[in-house]
């Protein structure tokens, strides 16, 4: 790998980390404040996590009341709204940025 591609790869990894760190792990985008996805769980510290994170897009899911859930990357939801989204680190950032994400 050339020095330039290695530098680019590091830059991408840093950007990905920055992006991931914006999440406040509230679970609202997975329905925490309404009808949660059945795969949504909370750690002892209260941080939301997905029980099937690595395969969340590959499987069909339901909410606790039995409604189908189409799991999509959060960036695909940023133009929509959901209960609790005013606390979402990605949406707050998008609101502050005039050019959007
Ligand atoms: S499957 Fe998707 S919607 Fe369900 S908890 Fe996991 S990330 Fe959230
Ligand atoms: S609503 Fe935003 S901050 Fe909360 S878990 Fe989803 S992506 Fe993370």
Q: Which residues contact 54 (CB under 8 A, 6 or more apart)?
A: none
Q: Is residue 15 part of a domain?
A: no
Q: Ligand 1: residues whose CB is within 6 Å?
A: 30, 37, 39-40, 50, 52, 56, 61, 69, 71
Q: Is residue 50 part of a domain?
A: yes
Instruction: Identify the nearest ligand to the CA of 89 by its number.
Output: 2
How do the pLDDT tens digits run along the chain, 101 residues long? Answer: 788 899 999 999 999 899 889 999 999 999 999 999 999 999 999 999 999 999 999 999 999 999 999 999 998 999 999 999 998 999 876 555 433 33
Q: Is residue 37 part of a domain?
A: yes
pLDDT the model gives residue 97: 43
Token pair listed for 65: 């009341």
100 membership: H or E segment, kind and range: none
**What are phi and psi for residue 81, nearest 5 degrees?**
-135, 155
Supply the range of the domain harboring residue 88. Answer: 23-96
Exposed, middle or buried: residue 46 (CB in 10 Å: 0-12, 13-18, 19+)?
exposed
Query: pTM of the predicted model, to two decimals?
Result: 0.82
Q: Is residue 6 part of a domain?
A: no
Q: Is residue 1 part of a domain?
A: no
pLDDT the model gives residue 93: 61
Q: Is residue 101 part of a domain?
A: no
Residue 40 alpha carbon, nearest atom of ligand 1? 5
Q: Is residue 29 part of a domain?
A: yes
SS3 helix, strand, coil % of the chain, rounded to 5?
Answer: 40, 10, 50
Ligand 2 site-directed mutation target among 21, 53, 74, most atoms within 8 Å of CB:
74
Total count of domains within the chain = 1
């Amino acid at each position: 790998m050339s020095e330039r591609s290695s530098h680019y790869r590091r830059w991408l990894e840093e950007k990905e980390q920055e992006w991931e760190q914006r999440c406040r792990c509230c679970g609202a985008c997975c329905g925490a404040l309404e009808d949660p996805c059945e795969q949504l769980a909370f750690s002892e510290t209260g941080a939301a996590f997905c029980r099937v994170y690595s395969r969340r897009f590959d499987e069909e899911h339901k909410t606790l009341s039995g409604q189908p859930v189409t799991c999509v990357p959060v960036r695909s939801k940023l133009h929509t709204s959901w209960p609790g989204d005013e606390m979402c680190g990605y949406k707050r950032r998008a609101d502050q940025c005039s050019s959007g994400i």
